Chains A and B, each alone.
Chain A
Amino acid sequence: MTMATLESKFPGKAKRIAFLLVVLTLGLASPKIYAEENQEHIAAESTHKTNFDAGKFVMEHVSDAFEWHILTYGHTHVSIPLPIILYSENSGLNVFLSSKFHHGTVAYKNFRIEQEGENEGKIVELNDQGEILGLPIDLSITKAVVGLFVSVIVILLIFLNVAKSAKQRAGKAPKGLQNLIEPLVLFIRDEVAVPAIGKAKTDQFLPFLLTLFFFILINNFLGLIPIFPFGANVTGNIAVTLVLALFTFVVTTLNGNKHYWKEIYNPDVPWWLKYPLPLMPIVELTGVFTKPFVLMVRLFANMMAGHIIVTVFVSLIFIFSSLNGPVVGGMVSPLSVAFSVFILLLDVLVSFIQAYVFTLLSALYFGMATSEHH
């Protein structure tokens, strides 16, 4: 739409719109982009940028990886290599850094990161002819594992410090970090554990519930910080949430009392629901496994979704600039940034809610497993 047509359609308003456009482009498109006025150059750029694959970009950012990618400048990838630990029957134990793969472009020893196909993203073992032999046992320290280490260090620093001040300041008012943590601890104890489990048995489960809550909460938060060594999307990794749910499942099952098992194998329902076909026992037994499964999926999906949306909003800038040139991309950026900030803030809320929900439901399951009566 040219200025003339604009003027004929909206006289008066056109000037204001034009002014806004100029301000937006000047203010937000980088000078470098603005300087590239040469038509040919832009055409070359856009053909280059059409290769931008938003789906791949987003997935790369939220998925686990064998290296910790920090930034790409031009064609130089800056990333932290992580240890690859492989065991295969053919070559035994292999430990080396992921930098040997050169970002997945080359094979090292007999191993290669598969770039496509059914084993995409996995490490496969090759024979001398370059044919795939199979999958080695892969216990590599991936990005998620490093993220776990980082968050565990943060958690230990926080809570050992709080424990120290709790010991030193016994009988006195809390101070510093202790002041921040104690209300949350009290919240978990008085609003989550005690109502769900009951006062008598709370002490038994409280350490686990507290660990669960703070582990999830701190991992959620650190996942939102997009700067190394944080932002590894640990709680958006289904393996991590699986283990958390597994711990809840194991604790529930180990602490299940007679009443709990009786309610599963012989619930209080009309006899024809149990005999000859054990309908209700099957439903109840399924429930035992669906509960931790739902815990796993809920936390994973919420955190993953938050990360995906943020990344999608950021990649909108690149999509627009690859479709319509960098100027349009620059113009879209304030909107993208605004939405990303909004979603990030929402994720802060979601981080709290998901940590709370996971802990609350775990506490409820423990309560069910240990309650004497309905």
Chain B
Amino acid sequence: MGFVTPDYGTIFWMVIIFGITLFILKKFAWKPILTSLKDRENTIAEALSSADKARKEVEGLKSNQEQIIAEARREKDIILKEAREIKDKLLADAKSIAQVEGQKIVESARTQIEAEKTAAINEMKKQIVDLSVLVAEKIIQREIKEKKDQEDMVNSLINDLKLK
């Protein structure tokens, strides 16, 4: 057989054999193999993208968390500030009330003292009057030698009284 001249018998068999091989492989080998390859590629791509998504979500959660913490901290500050203000106000109020109360007490004490004082003066006056009456009785009981001496004595007594 000349080896550079194609032999038609071999061509005949080769067409049949290659055709059948092509058909069988196409239907039963390449289809499942290529499908599984594509499926795997898709699965991997999906897994990668979902991992990316999850990572982004976690990042979002983290920033959310930070936001919440910051808010809580701010709220805490506000509450503390309010409490401090309330405390200050309470203290101030108490102080002013105490002041007013004290003033009131002082006032009432003063009026009482005044009243006591007036009462004491009146009492004194009454005693002076009693004393005067006593003095007068004594004078009257005495014999008055001179009119003029009498008059002087009374006058001086009255004057003394008035001075008080």
Contacts and interface: CB of A to CB of B under 8 A. Distances in A.
Interface of A: 59, 62-65, 85, 120-122, 138-142, 144-145, 148-149, 152, 155-156, 159-160, 162-164, 166-167, 169-171, 181-182, 185-186, 189, 203, 206-208, 210-211, 214-215, 237-240, 242-244, 246-247, 304
Report the contact-size class of chain B (Cβ under 8 Å from the partner): 35 or more
Contacts of B4: 238
B32 interface: yes
Contacts of A63: 1, 3
B144 to A, nearest CB: 149
Interface in B13-29: 13-15, 17-18, 20-22, 24-26, 28-29
Contacts of A238: 3-6
A63 B1 CA distance: 7
Interface stretch (B34-42, B55-63, B96-104): B34-42
A244 to B, nearest CB: 7
A121 B26 CA distance: 37
B9 A163 contact: no
Nearest to A141: B13
Contacts of B32: 163-164, 166-167
B36 A142 contact: no
Given A155-B21, A163-B33, A240 B14 contact: yes
Nearest to B6: A239
B18 to A, nearest CB: 6
A207 B24 CA distance: 10
Contact of B25 (A164, A210, A237): A210
Interface of B: 1-15, 17-18, 20-22, 24-26, 28-37, 39-40, 43
Contact of A166 (B9, B18, B24, B33): B33
B33 A139 contact: no
A163 B28 contact: yes
A206 B29 CA distance: 12
A155 B33 CA distance: 14
17 contacts: A85-B9, A120-B2, A140-B9, A149-B17, A152-B17, A163-B32, A164-B32, A170-B36, A182-B33, A185-B33, A211-B22, A237-B3, A238-B5, A239-B10, A240-B10, A243-B18, A246-B15
A151 B9 CA distance: 18
Contact of B10 (A64, A181, A185): A64
Contacts of A144: 10
A164 B36 CA distance: 11
Given A238-B4, A238-B5, A239-B6, A166 B36 contact: yes
Contacts of A160: 28-29
Contact of A239 (B11, B34, B37): B11
Contacts of B36: 166-167, 169-170
Scoring A160, A171, A185, A211 by chain B CB atoms within 10 A of each residue's CB, the highest score goes to A211
Given A138-B7, A156-B24, A304-B3, 8 more contacts: A145-B9, A149-B17, A160-B28, A163-B31, A171-B43, A210-B30, A237-B10, A244-B18
Scoring B3, B26, B29, B34 by chain A CB atoms within 10 A of each residue's CB, the highest score goes to B29
Contacts of B10: 64, 142, 144-145, 237, 239-240
Contact of A62 (B3, B7, B39): B3
A34 B7 CA distance: 45
Nearest to A234: B14
A62 B6 CA distance: 14
A44 B73 CA distance: 113
A211 B26 contact: yes
A354 to B, nearest CB: 17
Nearest to A162: B33
Contact of A243 (B15, B24, B37, B40): B15
B25 A145 contact: no
A156 to B, nearest CB: 6
B1 A121 contact: yes
Contact of B1 (A122, A139, A244): A122
